Amino acid sequence: MEQRISLVTLGVADVRRARRFYEALGWRSDAEPDSDIVFFQAGGIVVALWSRAELASDSGVRDGGGWGGVTLAHNVRSRAEVDAVLSQARIAGATIARPAAETFWGGYSGALIDPDGHPWEIAHNPHWTIGGDGSISL
Binding site for a second copy (CB under 8 A): 1-12, 25-28, 30, 39-47, 52, 55-56, 58-76, 85, 88-89, 97-98, 111, 113, 116-119, 121, 123, 128, 130-131, 133-138
Q: Smallest distance from the beta carbon of 58 to a second copy, in angstroms?
A: 7
Distance CA 93, CA 39 (A): 21
How many angstroms separate the CA atoms of 40 and 18, rounded? 12
Nearer to a second copy, 2 or 34 (CB): 2
Rounded Cα gap, residues 75 and 68, in angstroms: 22
Q: Which is nearer to a second copy, 33 or 132 (CB)?
A: 132
Least Å from the CB of residue 30 to a second copy = 7
Strand 7-12 with 95-102, pairing: unpaired
Instruction: Work out how close the CB of 102 gets to a second copy at its nearest, in angstroms, rounded to a whole number.
Output: 14
CB of 104 to a second copy, least distance (A): 10
